[in-house]
Amino acid sequence: MDNFQKDIDERANLALSNKFELLLFRLGSSPDGEKAELFGINVFKLREIVPMPTITKAAGMQSPLLGMANIREQIIPVIDLAAVAGCTPSTGLNLLLVTEYARSTQAFAVESVDNIVRLDWNQVHTAESGISSRNITSIACLESDGQSNNLAMVLDVEQILYDIMPSVRDAAPQEVARRAFKIKPGASVIVAEDSKVARTMLEQGLKTMGLPVIMHNTGLEAWEKIKRIAHEAQAAGQPISERIGLVLTDLEMPEMDGFTLTRNIKREEYLKKIPVVIHSSLSGSANEEHVRKVGADGYVAKFEINELAAAIQAALDKAAATMA
């Protein structure tokens, strides 16, 4: 038991050093008939791996939903991940990856699992400019030198669930309670989020709240933007609060994760009073503890618009009180 807990703690602490663990798996041959591509998912999203159980298919349920499975007395939906990716398994769908994603639990059916690799987030690069699939968010280079062709495609779980699960689509921004956000005129909210669908939902939600936003695909992009704004504000003799009202960041992102972005902000004297809210599908007490360690001002699980608005308001009120 002690070794098991030690393994959990070690894995959780990777997040404080811009590292993570990726589960590698295969779905079968690609549509062009080439060899089976390698895919990956963050281990933090994974609850367990189980052999394919009996699947019960409800009337009217269509691919890529396979049906429902009873996993440890919990009835959860099963998604045919090979069908989502357009792959053809040569030996069938043999395993379920049971995942906990923000407010939902679901299982992804895959052909086989390879192994777990430990990577630095700078080995992961955004795929939006080079990969046409809407379900791939980034490409992981599995060799630390960055020169190898040994690559894995990291799935955009948020996009997949949004496309397939009505309950996720229903969480899209609609109504939000009116709030008086304490943000200075001319200041913007800097957002870092690598999932396309999550970025769209966040942008719509923040605009509904009346907050001006500047969107970024990665933590590194957001950090470079923050440094440029800080340089301009310092040159003009302005406090950073005149330019940046809040930073809202995901945790899992190519090149630089949300913990590293937050830590970079909080260790700079000129920037450290910027309120930072972490908005992530990686829920759980371990991540909440890391949020405190890196100095973030709030943490909220994706995606409920009024909970997000409340977390933003609390962070802005806290920042206003410290400056008073």
Residue 317 DSSP symbol = H
Work out whether strand 112-120 and strand 19-26 pair parallel, antiparallel, or are unpaired.
antiparallel
Per-residue pLDDT at 170 exceeds 80:
no
Per-residue pLDDT at 48 exceeds 70:
yes
Can you tell me the mean pLDDT for 257-274? 93
Nearest CA among 92, 76, 74 for reference residue 28: 92
Query: What residue type is assigned to position 30 of the chain?
Result: S
Can you tell me the mean pLDDT for 224-251? 96
Query: H or E stretch including 99?
Result: strand 95-101
60 φψ region: left (φ > 0), alpha (ψ -120 to 50), beta (else): left
Which structure tokens are listed for 284? 């759980």
pLDDT at 254: 87
Q: pLDDT tens-digit profile of 207-229?
A: 888 899 999 999 999 999 999 99
pLDDT at 149: 76
What domains does the chain contain, in order, with CATH numbers?
17-164 (2.40.50.180), 176-323 (3.40.50.2300)
